[in-house]
Amino acid sequence: MTHQKSVSIDPNHSLSQPISPIIMSSSTFSVAQFKVEGMTCASCSATVENRIGALEGIRSVSVALIAGRCKLEFDPTIWSPEQINSEIEDLGFDAQLLSVVENRPLQINPSSPNLKLLNPTQSVIGVYGLTAESRVTDLQDSILALNGVLSCTFDLENEQCKVDHIRKIIPLRNIVDHISSLGLDPIVTDMDSSANSIQIQSLARTKEVNSWRSAARNSFFFALPVFVIQMIVPMLPKSNSLRSILLDHRLLIPGWFIGDWLCLLLTLPVQFVIGKRFYRSAWKSLSHRSATMDLLVVIGTSSALLFSIVSMALAPILINSRAVHSSYHPTIFFDTSTMLITFVSFGRYLENLAKGKTSAALSKLMSLTPSSATLYLDPPHCSQEKKLPIELVEVGDHLKIVPGDKIPADGTIIKGESSVDESMVTGEALPILKQKGDQVVGGTVNGVGTFDMVVTRSGSDTALSQIVKLVEEAQTSKAPIQAFADTVAGYFVPIVISLGILTFVAWMIISNTTLVDYVPSLHHIFVTVPSNESGGSGGGRLMVCLKLCISVIVVACPCALGLSTPTAVMVGTGVGAQNGILIKGAGPLEAAHKIDKIILDKTGTITMGKLEVVGLRWNKALSDEPKEPELGHRGRKLKRDILGALTAVESKSEHPLAQAMTRFGLNSLGWSHIPSEGAEGGIEVLGFTSITGQGVHSQVRLGDKTTHDIWIGNLKFMQGSFLASSPTSDLQTEVLETEFEKFKKFEEEQGHSCVLVRYDGMLACLIALADKLKPEARQAVEAFKWMGMSVVMVTGDQERTARAIGRLVGIDDQDIYSGVSPDGKRMIVEELQSQQIGLPKDANQLSKANHTGKSFRQDFRRCRVAMVGDGINDSPALATSDLGIAMSSGTDIAMEAADIILMRSNLLDVVAAIHLSRTVFRQIRLNFLWASVYNLIGIPLAMGFFLPWGIHLHPMMAGAAMAFSSVSVVCSSLTLKWWKKPRYAIMRDELEEERLEREELGEEEMMYESCGRRRGEGLIGRFLQKIDESLKIKKYFASGREQEGYFEDGKKKGFEYLRLGGRQAKFIFKGMGDNEGGTGRFIERVEEGGELEEEVGLIERGKGRD
């Protein structure tokens, strides 16, 4: 029984008072996620999408084949999650509800200042021991009386309480404490954590792996004796007693033999007990007018079984009617049925095992969040501590982080310092030193230090949760190229069945013609072999034709085509996430490998994004002295007023230029903060008007109560501000040309940005600001060009500044757009997209072709454009481009406009992202090629195209080939796990450092410096590796980014455990080697319980491979 009560709230109501109801809430579409088991190919996932999506009240359905997930939007007034679960199971698949989000927004006044507070959260609390309905009602009313609780639902059957509450008003911890105060023992059930746990098992395909392994083992137990009886025993001498008992010893009825009945009894459990899942899946798919791979398995195995049973049943009748000799042995091939199911089950086992490995990266991300945190109960004193579940951590909590701890949430360090391993979240290889004021990311691992932090994001709002969500959605999405596989899958099974029937009919006709007698190989196959295979009784042409038909049906594999794209996308997005590259789906992956032009925003992308004032030129009218006095000491009061007004106005803006000028003003005036109104020297900003891409205008009231106008911006903005009075405009233009032009020209030639300041009617000063180039910018531009893309730069700066930056990084002047607003960037993207790729370079080519009458074939397509920016003021351009790439700060990754998000603000990661996308799609093409070639060769071979040459495919071999074709595609996609950044996507300084190290350590023996790391206990330190000089290691081999080292000591080959300090240490190769030498860095992995010691080793120079 379920009890539900709810209230609505007024967001304008004081948060310190009980919330009163105003308007009831309304229902909208809810979102549910299901775990779906039993999908093997694109046809299966298409069945779920099409059938469920066609139901009334279902808004959208998306199915992830490899992840085994179904996400859908539904109308909760028509459907419940349980009903949808049943609908999925009716399609022949096992389904389990993972999560459901009921969207029930309150109808409130949109002008409410507290609108942001109304973000309801649903929490599930287990409350055990409540049996009396009266007590449930009392507890329900008590919870609803809490300020910030919207609704409360009790489910007595599951002993759960679902509470909708506003987390910023009443945290979950307060609700739990309230229930505890009533003498009950509440247990928090984190739905996200529970769903994650189920999802991790689903991704690893634990249930499927165990199930198919058991099926393969059991079927092999029955199939092996059947195979021996039918294939091995007939080859024994006739005098052999085993052969005599099984093949020659009859039962009481003529034509029935002990061996045949034994095979039948062993086959029936395989066919109808172990193989019942195939029948169930095939029947349900047919009932919904779809055909899957299981239908082909059922047809093939059932045909072999039915033929054998009918043959055995007819044997006594034929003998009694004297149609055949009394020694007649019926034609049977139970081995085909049992071995087919064994091979298919074993193939499904290997396939699910391989599929589980494709999602290893996502599973690791999901398991990064710790289960508990240490909370300070008395901040800021921080003397009392308490361990609490991670679900109860709230924004604003003060937490203690000790060495080796996983950081429970995003936050800011308020005390202490430590090195933090962020490799799993940002892809940063080495630990990063974090000090007071630095941001830390939830799920990362603390090093040797202890620090206190304040939580800024918790639960599903953390960066790690957003990363997991992005990767999940990416792996659920479908690439446009997947449409080809889906289309083929829809027609594949019916076509294969038709080909099987055609094969049977065609060869039945051919085998009964005289052609068989004239072709020796056909005569051997249709006349000689059948009698040998049936125990010496002559099985006939029907058996051979039926075997050919079964081979055609069994060998065909639509799964290989269906798995080509999703497996590669799954592995590719996971590998990208491990390297700090978050790809929002298969669509961006496909778009990234087709890019022709890449647009780079200047500020924050090519440059560091942190401007500093590097020059200031005042109007000469502000000083009568021959030399400029030192600012803040002997300068005139007017200058100080102007600089104060400038600082106050720019502090209202978040633009990087404004922030830089604010910092400069504060430092120059000696202020720690801007004086407030009423204080001595206070400045009041009366109005603030900003024109995007040009500048700001405001009025300020100084401490002496005088009011002044101030304009701050570029030349275009400043000229517009002087248009009101033409005489003044002419005067100021003269001032600009005479006093500032030389300074402005010089600064802009250096790549600096110039900002003009007008104070009342006077052009007061010109400020020059510089933004340092990112050290990798030029290398990244060169890499883009080397990869075949042209590079374009857009900026709001003046043309001279933009060209100076362009020259420094290697961008041509014609590819630089300056003075561009955010909307102008969008227009530039559209302009570049309208360009045609493949046009003749010389117009004379076309006219010459027309003149000679020869055809001139030219392909035309529009230019595909990528935009790289910071995801803030570049959002219009990012959304318009074919591929939007945003650089993240490491915590703020919810950039809706971007298709790819980089966890590090490193331009070379853009190179790596495009290289990864190209690698993934090259793998997809290889998968498609292999799957297509397999079917194009396997089906004709099974149909008997090569029978005249004596080549054919036995049904057992066809089943084995079909089973392993899917495994081969998945394993092919798994090779993407070995992807690593190309050398041109790694800083040259790092590569040069390696080269110099190799030169310095050029002797026969090299010593390596290493970083010892034990993630489990967070032990991080640096030490030198040494080993006993008596241990002579002749060669060193290494491959891959993080593979075990192979050593050879003259006799032993393989893994060599080096005994150091009475314990064993295995060394892992960290990919820093190349084709030229064996330089590398090792990370020591010690056994559980081992301690970090000063261990040393000396190895001879060998050869290493990247």
DSSP state for residue 1087 in the 8-state scheme: P
Instruction: From 78, 63, 87, select the one nearest 28 (Cα to Cα).
Output: 78
Query: 133-144 vs 172-181: helix axis angle to the nearest 10?
Result: 140
Distances in Å between the Cα of 1005 and the Cα atoms of 20, 548, 1000, 1099, 1102 are: 79, 64, 11, 6, 9
* Torsion from C-alpha of 663, 668, 671, 675, nearest 10 degrees: -90
The pair of three-digit structure tokens given for residue 760, joined into one six-digit string: 């009342």
The number of helices, as runs of H, and strands, as runs of E, in the chain is 34, 44
- Within 13 Å of residue 641, how many CA atoms lie on the same side as its CB? 20
CA distance 993 to 1001: 12
Separation between Cα atoms, residue 1072 and residue 91, nearest integer Å: 51
Q: Is 127 helix (H, G, I), strand (E, B) or coil?
A: strand
Question: How many other CB atoms are there within 10 angstroms of residue 369's CB atom?
Answer: 22
Q: How many CA atoms lie within 13 A of 1078 on its CB side?
A: 20
Query: Is residue 900 within 8 Å of residue 913, measured between CB atoms?
Result: yes
- Checking phi first, is residue 659 left (phi over 0); if not, alpha (psi -120 to 50) or beta? alpha
Q: Where are the beta strands (DSSP E) in 672-813?
A: 684-691, 695-701, 707-713, 753-759, 762-770, 790-794
Instruction: Indicate the angle between helix axes 206-227 and 334-358, nearest 10 degrees.
Output: 160
Token duo for residue 1084: 């020591």
Question: For residue 577, which of 599, 569, 461, 593 has the smallest C-alpha distance?
Answer: 569
CA-CA distances (angstroms) from residue 254 to 233, 234, 245, 328, 1044?
Answer: 21, 20, 15, 9, 65
Q: DSSP strand E in 368-441: where?
A: 372-376, 385-389, 398-401, 410-416, 418-421, 432-434, 439-440
- Rounded to 5°, the CA angle 634-637-638 comes to 125
Listed in sequence order, the DSSP H helices in 91-189 are: 133-144, 172-181
Distance CA(347)–CA(964), nearest Å, equals 6
Going by C-alpha positions, the residue among 71, 913, 930 that lies closest to residue 565 is 930
Look at strands 816-817 and 790-794 and give their pairing.
parallel
Q: What are phi and psi of 1076, to 5 degrees?
A: -95, -20
What is the separation of C-alpha 82 from the centre of its chain, rounded to a whole number of angstroms? 29
Length of the chain measured in residues? 1106
Which 8-state DSSP code applies to residue 602? I
Q: Which residues does the annotation mark as catalytic?
A: 601
Using alpha carbons, list the distances in angstroms from residue 418 to 440, 814, 965.
11, 48, 50
CA-based angle 1014:1020:1024, to the nearest 5? Answer: 100
As a whole number of angstroms, the longest Cα–Cα distance in the chain is: 134
Closest alpha carbon to 768 in 720, 732, 801:
801
Cis (ω within 30 of 0) for the bond into 840?
no
